A and B are shown apart, each in its own frame.
Chain A
Amino acid sequence: MTTPSTPSWQDILDLVTQLDDGSFESATVEFGDVSVRLSRSADASAPAAPAAPAPQAPQVSQPTAALVAPPAATAVAAEPAATAVLPAEPLSPGTVVTAPIIGVFYRSPTPGASPFVEPGAIVSADTTIGIIEVMKLMNPVSAGNAGILKEFLVADNAQIEFGQPLAVIIEDASS
């Protein structure tokens, strides 16, 4: 998938890290036909499609459209205060798993048991990554996308709201 003119996933991560250290509110970087848009506010990431050149828009699996999303995910993780309004779920790779309901998030099936998944684990769309308890009722949360569970954005046992980012799933480059 990676061609000389397309940046690798690591290139993007490096870019995000570099820009995150700076004082940028938002930035748009273009590598040939790939456009990467970064913003510290959650809202700006929502319209992912317009950032891609029009002829490529229908090709969802192209990195062009996909790469627009991850920087926003990082930005949200760095600023947990911005939990109320969240970006629409972007397509993989680099997807934020958001809480489907309000409740308490647990990473293990029972207290003391080992977690469903650890960061770095390969997950499929239906892999359970945690449970949300709402008034004594347990609701499993699945990854929703296949890839690598990069990190959890909330602590075990945390009270979470509807739509709150729980974890980041990135593309599994080895597959």
Chain B
Amino acid sequence: MTSAPVKKVPVVLVANRGEIAVRIVAAARRIGASPVLAASAADADSLAARLADRVIIIGPAQAGKSYLRPEYVAEAAVHAGADVVHAGYGFLSEQPELAELLEAENIAFAGPRPETLRAVGDKTSARRVAVAAGVPVAVATEIDDPSFAASLGDSLGYPLLIKAVHGGGGRGIRLVHNSVELADLAPQAAAEAQAAFGNGALYLERFYPAARHVEVQVFGDGEGGVQVFGDRDCSVQRRHQKLIEECPAPGLSEARRLVLHDASRALVKALRYRGAGTVEFLVDTESDDVVFLEMNARIQVEHPVTEEAFGIDLVAAQLRLALGLDPQLPDVSAVPPMVAIEVRINAEDPDNDFRPNPGLISHVDWPRGPGIRVDTHVESGYRFPPFYDSLMAKLIVRAHSRTAAVEALHSAAGDVRIDGVKTTLPLHDFVLSHPDFIRGGVSTTWFAPAWEHRNSQLTEGTK
């Protein structure tokens, strides 16, 4: 007389907002789970809120009193009867405090273990872990005595950055091109570091003026097992903010790709990393150097290009793994069968120093066609709030070759219609039609001067 136990539908608490909340709700549906949204009062009527089975208001509009409070999110998870919490990217996605609070309540966290979050959370400890795993890092040497700095610098090679050992936030960093500059600036930097951080210790780090940002998508089973899902190039950046991403990274030699993937695999194995993660590298365009930047222990904004190029669902895989299920990810080759490129459409005015431009979006039309994907929470009539980041939508296009993908994306971006707020679409029109981008493989320092040049030409044209 045994009856099969009633299988409870798992509950997924979505602890984020905007497009990624919509994305996680969709993944929850895909695995047959019930999505519950933890939202601020400002997002009570958002698209994600309407798509979820239930909305729990965790605080007021200000993120500091809602989305950034681990105890409020954990409380909402308890109220929801959640089996797993997915925190998306940003906010609490890499905060060990949330993972620990959930652990105490026996609720799964769709991410790495808290100790992993700590290990990769700060640059010094991440670098230590990377070195131990045999991952290439930027050559760096501590300076014991500023008067000997020049000879140390000569052994490393130029250009170099002088950095404060105990510094942070980019303060006190100096770029030097030769031993004369180094001998000149090292004592100044030491004095400044002493004044600012109470410690004058310095180190020298190799600087790459023309490097690409290439990152590797990994997925760990938490026991040392690793799957690698190719790489992404995110070199089109403005002030360290990614604007366009693509999978695979174009023009990488097989040898270089192997170095990146093997290093990432080694790091994930060493950490016994659990779930989706990204290992970021600088790939120099002037030498063969590849250096580790950091590991992001979360799903990334640009994950759709990997999903489209390989035909996988990374967010559903995160949820399945967290629920103790098979993530259902295939083993894939190093290079995906398709090329996918994404542009980030932000509510910013590109002709006004990219000033945030929130407000009422009176009308919006997204493009249609083969291989086109739009990840967004924006609809006609949506009032884009001023409280959060300016990401409105990610437009992703997939095609059989990079050339075809660039052309299709350029055309699709031209078909986007957003009325009411200024957006970064003009920027994408510029980049997607630029010969340097069409050729592929631009460095992270390419965009700023190219955009400057475009603007000065526009100004000339109006004279």
A residues sitting closer than 8 Å to B (CB atoms) are: 83-85, 101-103, 134-135, 137, 159, 161-164
Contact = CB atoms under 8 A, between A and B. Distances in A.
A135 B107 CA distance: 13
Contacts, number: 45
Nearest to B74: A135
B75 A135 contact: yes
Interface stretch (B1-9, B57-65, B342-350, B442-450): B57-65
Interface string B67-85: 0000110111011000000
Given A134-B75, A161-B58, 14 more contacts: A83-B57, A84-B41, A84-B45, A101-B59, A102-B56, A102-B57, A102-B58, A134-B71, A137-B71, A159-B79, A161-B57, A162-B66, A163-B57, A163-B60
12 contacts: A83-B57, A84-B55, A101-B72, A103-B75, A135-B74, A159-B78, A161-B57, A161-B58, A162-B41, A162-B72, A163-B57, A163-B60
Interface of B: 41, 44-45, 55-60, 66, 71-72, 74-76, 78-79, 101
B390 to A, nearest CB: 24
A84 B44 contact: yes
Nearest to B66: A162
A84 B57 contact: yes
A134 B105 CA distance: 13
B101 A135 contact: yes
B41 A102 contact: no
A67 B267 CA distance: 66
A85 B75 contact: no
A89 B21 CA distance: 29
Contacts of A162: 41, 57-60, 66, 72
Output the residue of A85, A159, A161, A163 with the most chain B CB within 10 A. Answer: A161
A102 B72 contact: yes
Contacts of B75: 102-103, 134-135
A46 to B, nearest CB: 13
A164 B60 CA distance: 12
Contacts of A163: 41, 57, 60
Contacts of A102: 56-59, 72, 75-76, 79
A85 B72 contact: no
B74 A85 contact: no
Contacts of B74: 135
Contacts of B66: 162
Closest 9 CB pairs of A and B: A135-B71, A161-B57, A84-B44, A159-B79, A162-B57, A162-B59, A102-B58, A102-B75, A102-B72
Of A102, A134, A163, A164, most buried by chain B (CB within 10 Å of CB) is A102
Contacts of A84: 41, 44-45, 55, 57
Contacts of A101: 59, 72
B441 to A, nearest CB: 48
A83 B55 CA distance: 10
Nearest to B76: A102
Contacts of B78: 159
A134 B45 CA distance: 24
B44 A85 contact: yes
A3 B201 CA distance: 78
Contacts of A85: 41, 44-45
A102 B78 CA distance: 11
A144 B212 CA distance: 57
B457 to A, nearest CB: 49
A165 to B, nearest CB: 12
A101 B40 CA distance: 11
A131 to B, nearest CB: 14
Contacts of B57: 83-84, 102, 161-164
A83 B56 CA distance: 10
Contacts of B56: 102, 161
A168 to B, nearest CB: 20
Nearest to B73: A102
Nearest to A86: B41
A161 B72 CA distance: 10
Contacts of B44: 84-85
Contacts of B45: 84-85
Contacts of B41: 84-85, 162-163
Nearest to B44: A84
Nearest to A161: B57
B273 to A, nearest CB: 27
B102 to A, nearest CB: 10
A16 to B, nearest CB: 26
A103 to B, nearest CB: 6
A84 B41 CA distance: 7
A103 B41 CA distance: 15
Nearest to B56: A161
Contacts of B58: 102, 161-162
Most chain A Cβ neighbours within 10 Å, of B55, B75, B76: B75
A123 B330 CA distance: 64
A162 B41 CA distance: 8
Nearest to B59: A162
